[in-house]
Amino acid sequence: MRLKNTDNHFGLLAILLHWTMALLIIGLLALGLYMVSLPISLQKLKLYGWHKEYGFLALALVSIRLLWRLINITPRLDLPWFEHLAARLMHWAFYALMFAMPISGWLVTSAAGLPASFFGLFTLPNLIAPNEQLRPWFELAHQWMGYALILAIILHAAAALKHHFINKDDILRRMIS
């Protein structure tokens, strides 16, 4: 398998980034939904720390992924124009959400005046000064973008499965192997 994309197939790096990010983001969404339901405790604080650290990892990976996409060709989509448009719009919506989610989380942390560590290796700077009036707005934005990302993942997976089982085309296969 080639490292780079071809006209008909995704390359190894694009496939690895896709599935690594898919698992990471689904894990972050599940962790986020779980941890907010917990009462305040050391366990909850520990989970919030992990959520932030892996959120920063997701931000780094989506930056690499977008750069790779911009310098690489995108495999051709032989679809009706409306499906092609829907696929492209969904992919760019994913990129927007994959950037906005960790940044909004970072804004929540900054507005709360809390440190943002990257796995204990270094502390990231606050994006804004502590601000208790803005923090709830950033939390709300982060929450609703999470719901939007869940919906986008469901639609994306449903479309991939539709192409595989109903259309019987190679759309899903070229992102698996």
User: What is the average per-residue pLDDT within 152-160?
Assistant: 97
Please list the residues that pair with 116 across neighbouring strands: 124
What sign has the CA pseudo-torsion 89, 92, 93, 94? positive
pLDDT digits (tens, 9 = 90+) for 121-152: 999 999 999 999 999 999 999 999 999 999 99
User: What is the average per-residue pLDDT within 148-175?
Assistant: 95
Torsion angle (degrees, nearest 10) of CA 105, 45, 140, 38: 150
SS3 content of the chain, % helix, strand, coil (to 5): 70, 5, 30
Residue 1 binned pLDDT confidence (cut-offs 50, 70, 90): confident
Would you give the DSSP letter of residue 122?
Answer: E
User: 47, exposed or middle or buried, with CB in 10 Å at 0-12, 13-18, 19+?
Assistant: middle
Q: Please, what are the domains in the chain?
A: 12-176 (1.20.950)
pLDDT digits (tens, 9 = 90+) for 46-80: 999 999 999 999 999 999 999 999 999 999 988 99
- Mean pLDDT of the residues in the chain: 96
d(CA 163, CA 157): 10
Look at residue 177 in the predicted model and tell me its pLDDT.
79
